[in-house]
Amino acid sequence: MNLVGKRVLITGADGFIGSHLTEELVRKGCQVRAFVYYNSFNTWGWLDTLSSETLSKIDVFAGDIRDPNGVRTAMKDIDVVFHLAALIAIPFSYHSPDSYIDTNVKGTLNIIQAARDLNVERVLVTSTSEVYGTAQFVPITELHPRQPQSPYSASKIGADCIAESFYRSFETPITIVRPFNTYGPRQSARAVIPTIITQLLNGYEEIKLGDIVPTRDLLFVKDTAKGFCAIAECDELVGQDCNIATNSEISVGELAQNIINQINPNAKIVTDQERLRPEKSEVFRLFGSNEKIIQHTPWTPQYTLQQGIAETIEWFKDPKNLAGYKANIYNV
């Protein structure tokens, strides 16, 4: 499939990855409809920060992914759906799991049921590397066992299974896209890299973190967006799941020290007990295989970790961007 000229819907377009993917699809020449979460302030999340030229090429639809009626309306006359809308914060899922089932499982069901009924050409359902849990082998391929180590990961495993069942039962043309630890400009403060950068840029010399032993496979957001597009254009990946990963890992501690060295070498890492996850819930190792996406598509990562971190730091240095983050509190 060639995406150029296709009518595409992006759910979660107002979010971190969704806004970058929206920009990428506009650049590719798609007719983009952006599904954003309805709110009474009439804000469109990160889409509000895009250029007027880009926004003029986007049809914004405000709704709620949990409502099948709004979803069906948004999907009328659509060729390809990129389904990214989800609740993603792990600590919040510990005390509000019902909302994760409603949004992540039922929301995904709403999308794929409408896609089946409306004969949508392709549906890309966004998964997460968290479904793998702590690595049993590395690099983690798409055949790795699923391990629900948090209510969040359980909800995403459930969504993946619902999507896979529709492909097997009804031949709905679904691909499950599984990005590893995406980072970059616009990422929320619940993630580790914005947590480190915002504390440093606000002058803190004690950088509060949780466990710094776990390793992560860090993927720059622009590479993630291009990975989504490459997977969408590969017909061989219909009915399959596909990682987007860098085939590498770095510990949280090493990552934090790397960023500290770039901003304020005098700063020190301190452990904040509130940020520690229950031991059996913490995912201690994520190191993703990108063999499948490289084998089936032209995609390869374009950003090294150093390049991606540098671009992310520069974005946060803009006072307008930094002002939107509360570095003095633990953002769940």
State the pLDDT at residue 59. Answer: 98
Cβ proximity of 121 and 52 under 8 Å: no
Query: DSSP state, 290?
Result: -
Do the bridges between strand 215-216 and strand 250-251 make them parallel or antiparallel, or are there none, so unpaired? antiparallel
Mean pLDDT, rounded, for 204-223: 98
To the nearest whole percent, how much of the chain has pLDDT over 90? 100
pLDDT band at 231 (very low <50, low <70, confident <90, very high): very high
Superfamily of the domain at 7-183+220-244: NAD(P)-binding Rossmann-like Domain (3.40.50.720)
State the pLDDT at residue 310. Answer: 98
- Calculate the average pLDDT of the chain: 98
Output 313-319 pairs: Cβ under 8 A, ≥24 positions apart.
Answer: 313/197, 313/259, 313/262, 313/263, 315/184, 315/185, 315/186, 316/185, 316/194, 316/197, 316/198, 316/201, 317/201
- CA–CA separation, 320 and 307 (whole Å): 22
Mean pLDDT, rounded, for 256-269: 98
Residue type, 201: L
Mean pLDDT, rounded, for 234-240: 98
Mean pLDDT, rounded, for 122-144: 98
Mean pLDDT, rounded, for 49-62: 97
pLDDT band at 185 (very low <50, low <70, confident <90, very high): very high
Cβ proximity of 250 and 201 under 8 Å: no
pLDDT band at 258 (very low <50, low <70, confident <90, very high): very high
**Alpha-helical runs (H) found in 83-241:** 90-95, 97-100, 107-118, 151-170, 192-201, 221-232
Element housing 26 (H / E): helix 16-27
Mean pLDDT, rounded, for 229-254: 98
Q: SS3 for 241?
A: strand
Please list, in sequence order, all residues whose beta carbon lies within 8 angstroms of the beta carbon of residue 190, skipping any fewer than 6 positions away. 88, 89, 91, 92, 331, 332
Residue with tokens 């769940």: 332
pLDDT band at 290 (very low <50, low <70, confident <90, very high): very high
Token output for 67: 């409502």
Q: What is the pLDDT of residues 19-42, one digit of tens each?
A: 999 999 999 999 999 999 999 999
Q: What is the pLDDT of residues 95-105, one digit of tens each?
A: 999 999 999 99
- CA–CA separation, 76 and 118 (whole Å): 7
Token output for 314: 């520069």
In a 13 Å sphere around the CA of 95, the CA atoms on its Cβ side amount to: 4
> How long a stretch of residues is the chain?
332
pLDDT band at 214 (very low <50, low <70, confident <90, very high): very high
Mean pLDDT, rounded, for 134-152: 98
Element housing 181 (H / E): strand 181-183
State the pLDDT at residue 141. Answer: 98
- CA–CA separation, 178 and 245 (whole Å): 8
State the pLDDT at residue 314. Answer: 98
Decide: residue 166, CB within 10 A, 0-12 exposed, 13-18 middle, 19+ buried.
buried
